[in-house]
Amino acid sequence: MTPERYKKLTDWLEGHPALREGIILLNRWLPLVPFVCYPVLLVLLNLRWFRMLTIGRGGGALDFMQVIARAILVPGLAFWLGTILRARLNFPRPYEQPGFVPLVSKGTHGNSCPSRHALSAAVLGMVWLYFYPAVGVVMLAIAALICLLRVLSGAHFVRDVLAGAAFGLTFGFVGMWLL
Protein backbone atom coordinates (compact mmCIF):
# COMPACT_ATOMS: atom_id res chain seq x y z
CA MET A 1 0.00 0.00 0.00
CA THR A 2 1.37 3.39 -0.88
CA PRO A 3 1.66 6.08 1.79
CA GLU A 4 -0.91 8.17 -0.11
CA ARG A 5 -3.54 5.40 -0.15
CA TYR A 6 -2.92 4.56 3.47
CA LYS A 7 -3.21 8.25 4.40
CA LYS A 8 -6.64 8.39 2.73
CA LEU A 9 -7.68 5.35 4.76
CA THR A 10 -6.42 6.75 8.07
CA ASP A 11 -7.97 10.15 7.30
CA TRP A 12 -11.31 8.40 6.73
CA LEU A 13 -10.87 6.48 9.98
CA GLU A 14 -10.23 9.76 11.83
CA GLY A 15 -13.81 10.68 10.91
CA HIS A 16 -15.01 7.37 12.37
CA PRO A 17 -13.29 7.20 15.77
CA ALA A 18 -15.26 4.19 17.04
CA LEU A 19 -14.20 2.15 14.01
CA ARG A 20 -10.61 3.36 14.34
CA GLU A 21 -10.48 2.39 18.02
CA GLY A 22 -12.15 -0.94 17.22
CA ILE A 23 -9.46 -1.73 14.64
CA ILE A 24 -6.71 -0.83 17.10
CA LEU A 25 -8.31 -2.90 19.88
CA LEU A 26 -8.97 -5.94 17.68
CA ASN A 27 -5.47 -5.73 16.19
CA ARG A 28 -4.07 -6.02 19.69
CA TRP A 29 -6.33 -8.69 21.17
CA LEU A 30 -7.79 -10.85 18.37
CA PRO A 31 -4.48 -12.63 17.61
CA LEU A 32 -4.66 -14.05 21.14
CA VAL A 33 -7.75 -16.10 20.29
CA PRO A 34 -6.01 -18.76 18.14
CA PHE A 35 -3.04 -18.92 20.51
CA VAL A 36 -5.19 -19.31 23.63
CA CYS A 37 -7.52 -21.80 21.94
CA TYR A 38 -4.67 -24.01 20.68
CA PRO A 39 -3.80 -25.38 24.15
CA VAL A 40 -7.54 -25.99 24.64
CA LEU A 41 -7.49 -28.13 21.49
CA LEU A 42 -4.51 -30.09 22.77
CA VAL A 43 -6.29 -30.74 26.08
CA LEU A 44 -9.42 -31.92 24.22
CA LEU A 45 -7.35 -34.24 22.05
CA ASN A 46 -5.54 -35.70 25.04
CA LEU A 47 -8.84 -36.26 26.85
CA ARG A 48 -10.09 -38.13 23.79
CA TRP A 49 -6.87 -40.16 23.75
CA PHE A 50 -7.18 -41.05 27.46
CA ARG A 51 -10.79 -42.08 26.87
CA MET A 52 -9.62 -44.39 24.05
CA LEU A 53 -7.07 -45.94 26.41
CA THR A 54 -9.63 -46.56 29.16
CA ILE A 55 -12.19 -48.26 26.92
CA GLY A 56 -9.58 -50.67 25.59
CA ARG A 57 -9.02 -49.34 22.09
CA GLY A 58 -5.24 -49.60 22.44
CA GLY A 59 -4.45 -49.82 18.71
CA GLY A 60 -6.69 -46.88 17.91
CA ALA A 61 -5.18 -44.93 20.79
CA LEU A 62 -1.70 -45.42 19.37
CA ASP A 63 -2.83 -44.15 15.97
CA PHE A 64 -4.57 -41.20 17.59
CA MET A 65 -1.43 -40.37 19.56
CA GLN A 66 0.39 -40.02 16.22
CA VAL A 67 -2.29 -37.61 15.03
CA ILE A 68 -1.86 -35.57 18.22
CA ALA A 69 1.87 -35.46 17.52
CA ARG A 70 1.11 -34.03 14.06
CA ALA A 71 -1.16 -31.44 15.68
CA ILE A 72 1.88 -30.29 17.66
CA LEU A 73 4.58 -30.64 15.00
CA VAL A 74 2.73 -29.08 12.07
CA PRO A 75 2.15 -25.65 13.69
CA GLY A 76 5.60 -25.71 15.29
CA LEU A 77 7.39 -26.45 12.02
CA ALA A 78 5.27 -23.95 10.11
CA PHE A 79 6.10 -21.20 12.59
CA TRP A 80 9.80 -22.09 12.61
CA LEU A 81 10.10 -22.29 8.81
CA GLY A 82 8.07 -19.10 8.41
CA THR A 83 10.39 -17.31 10.82
CA ILE A 84 13.46 -18.48 8.89
CA LEU A 85 11.87 -17.45 5.57
CA ARG A 86 10.98 -13.96 6.75
CA ALA A 87 14.49 -13.45 8.17
CA ARG A 88 15.98 -14.50 4.83
CA LEU A 89 13.65 -12.28 2.80
CA ASN A 90 13.85 -9.40 5.29
CA PHE A 91 11.26 -7.35 3.38
CA PRO A 92 10.61 -3.85 4.76
CA ARG A 93 7.43 -2.97 6.60
CA PRO A 94 4.94 -0.45 5.19
CA TYR A 95 5.79 2.19 7.79
CA GLU A 96 9.43 2.12 6.70
CA GLN A 97 8.36 4.06 3.59
CA PRO A 98 8.81 7.84 3.76
CA GLY A 99 5.55 9.52 4.68
CA PHE A 100 3.83 6.36 5.96
CA VAL A 101 2.31 6.78 9.42
CA PRO A 102 0.81 3.51 10.73
CA LEU A 103 -2.38 3.37 12.73
CA VAL A 104 -0.51 1.30 15.32
CA SER A 105 3.10 2.32 15.97
CA LYS A 106 5.74 -0.39 15.90
CA GLY A 107 9.49 -0.27 16.30
CA THR A 108 10.25 -3.40 14.26
CA HIS A 109 12.10 -3.02 10.99
CA GLY A 110 12.19 -5.58 8.18
CA ASN A 111 11.04 -9.19 8.55
CA SER A 112 7.65 -8.28 7.16
CA CYS A 113 6.95 -11.20 4.83
CA PRO A 114 5.42 -13.62 5.56
CA SER A 115 3.33 -12.30 8.42
CA ARG A 116 3.71 -14.64 11.38
CA HIS A 117 0.36 -13.56 12.78
CA ALA A 118 -1.33 -14.62 9.54
CA LEU A 119 0.74 -17.80 9.21
CA SER A 120 0.14 -18.92 12.79
CA ALA A 121 -3.58 -18.18 12.79
CA ALA A 122 -4.03 -19.98 9.45
CA VAL A 123 -2.12 -23.13 10.40
CA LEU A 124 -3.87 -23.32 13.78
CA GLY A 125 -7.20 -22.87 12.00
CA MET A 126 -6.33 -25.83 9.76
CA VAL A 127 -5.46 -28.00 12.77
CA TRP A 128 -8.81 -27.13 14.38
CA LEU A 129 -10.54 -27.83 11.06
CA TYR A 130 -9.05 -31.32 10.99
CA PHE A 131 -10.49 -32.30 14.38
CA TYR A 132 -13.49 -30.00 14.85
CA PRO A 133 -14.65 -28.63 11.47
CA ALA A 134 -17.16 -26.09 12.84
CA VAL A 135 -14.58 -24.56 15.18
CA GLY A 136 -12.00 -24.71 12.38
CA VAL A 137 -14.19 -22.60 10.13
CA VAL A 138 -14.54 -20.01 12.89
CA MET A 139 -10.77 -20.05 13.48
CA LEU A 140 -10.10 -19.58 9.76
CA ALA A 141 -12.53 -16.64 9.71
CA ILE A 142 -10.60 -15.17 12.66
CA ALA A 143 -7.37 -15.74 10.71
CA ALA A 144 -8.80 -13.81 7.77
CA LEU A 145 -9.81 -10.97 10.09
CA ILE A 146 -6.32 -10.94 11.62
CA CYS A 147 -4.89 -10.59 8.09
CA LEU A 148 -7.15 -7.62 7.40
CA LEU A 149 -6.29 -5.99 10.73
CA ARG A 150 -2.54 -6.36 10.17
CA VAL A 151 -2.87 -4.43 6.92
CA LEU A 152 -5.24 -1.80 8.34
CA SER A 153 -2.95 -1.24 11.32
CA GLY A 154 -0.04 -0.53 8.96
CA ALA A 155 2.11 -3.41 10.23
CA HIS A 156 2.08 -5.38 6.95
CA PHE A 157 1.51 -5.10 3.24
CA VAL A 158 -1.27 -7.18 1.67
CA ARG A 159 1.43 -9.41 0.13
CA ASP A 160 2.80 -10.19 3.63
CA VAL A 161 -0.48 -11.43 5.07
CA LEU A 162 -1.43 -13.31 1.90
CA ALA A 163 1.96 -15.05 1.90
CA GLY A 164 1.63 -15.88 5.61
CA ALA A 165 -1.93 -17.17 5.27
CA ALA A 166 -1.08 -19.20 2.16
CA PHE A 167 1.95 -20.72 3.89
CA GLY A 168 -0.09 -21.58 6.98
CA LEU A 169 -3.05 -23.01 5.04
CA THR A 170 -0.81 -25.07 2.77
CA PHE A 171 1.39 -26.35 5.58
CA GLY A 172 -1.68 -27.17 7.67
CA PHE A 173 -3.39 -29.00 4.81
CA VAL A 174 -0.32 -31.01 3.85
CA GLY A 175 0.63 -31.75 7.45
CA MET A 176 -2.81 -32.76 8.67
CA TRP A 177 -4.49 -34.34 5.63
CA LEU A 178 -1.78 -35.53 3.27
CA LEU A 179 0.78 -37.00 5.68
Please state the rounded mean pLDDT for residues 9-18: 96
On the question of pLDDT at 57 being above 70, the answer is no
What distances in angstroms separate CA 2 from CA 7, 45, 93, one per listed residue?
Answer: 9, 45, 12
Angle of helix 3-14 versus helix 17-29 axis, rounded to 10: 110
Please state the rounded mean pLDDT for residues 124-151: 98
Q: In 10 A of CB 179, how many CB atoms?
A: 9
| pLDDT at site 52 | 87
Please state the rounded mean pLDDT for residues 89-100: 95
What's the pTM? 0.94
On the question of pLDDT at 62 being above 90, the answer is no
Confidence of residue 58 (pLDDT cuts 50, 70, 90): low
Break the chain into its structural domains and give their ranges.
23-178
